[in-house]
Amino acid sequence: MPTGTTQVGYGTTFKWNAVTVAKLTKIGEFGSAVEKVDVSTFDAATAFKVIRAGLIDPGEVTFEGVLATDDTTGLMAMFTDARARTSREYIITMPTTLGTMTFTATGFITEIKVSDITPEGIISIKGKIASAGATVLASA
């Protein structure tokens, strides 16, 4: 039985508008989901529901990181794009030990926030990006 390649997340990159965003600590799950459409009728031959595949929901991606105000073309540009409601391409690239594996989509930021600030803690950020259409998971 093949065991596959496993890898920790270190080395993953996240690009927003072709620019790598600095200081990220977490990228949430990503992918898509197919809606289930119930097409059952009163005259069905059995009492089982009849389900068909519906539209594909491209989903959203969450992210977390450390506030880096000097990352003007990455993180800070994301704050600007969120306020302007600008859609951009984003690319998640897995560690190179997994080969060339990327998740690419176009989306807009639905939430971006500076997290709690405490005297002893690192100032962090978190946000969400809604995919605005088809997504591509590619592996080579």
**Does residue 42 lie within any of the structural domains?**
no
**Does residue 1 lie within any of the structural domains?**
no
Condensed to tens digits (0 to 9), the pLDDT of residues 20-62 reads 999 999 999 999 999 999 999 999 899 999 999 999 999 999 9
**Does residue 82 lie within any of the structural domains?**
yes
pLDDT at 2: 58
Please tell me the total count of domains within the chain: 1
- Concatenated DSSP letters of the chain: --------STT-EEEETTEEPTTEEEE-----EEEEEE---TT-SSSS--EEEEEEE--EEEEEEE--TT-TTTHHHHHHHHHHT--EEEEEE--GGG-SEEEEEEEEEEEEEE----TTS--EEEEEEEE-S--EEEE-
**Does residue 39 lie within any of the structural domains?**
no
pLDDT at 96: 86
The residue segments making up the domain with residue 74 are 13-31+60-139
| Stretch 102-129: mean pLDDT | 97
**Does residue 70 lie within any of the structural domains?**
yes
**Does residue 50 lie within any of the structural domains?**
no
Query: CATH number, domain at 131?
Result: 2.30.110
- What is the pTM for the complete model shown? 0.88
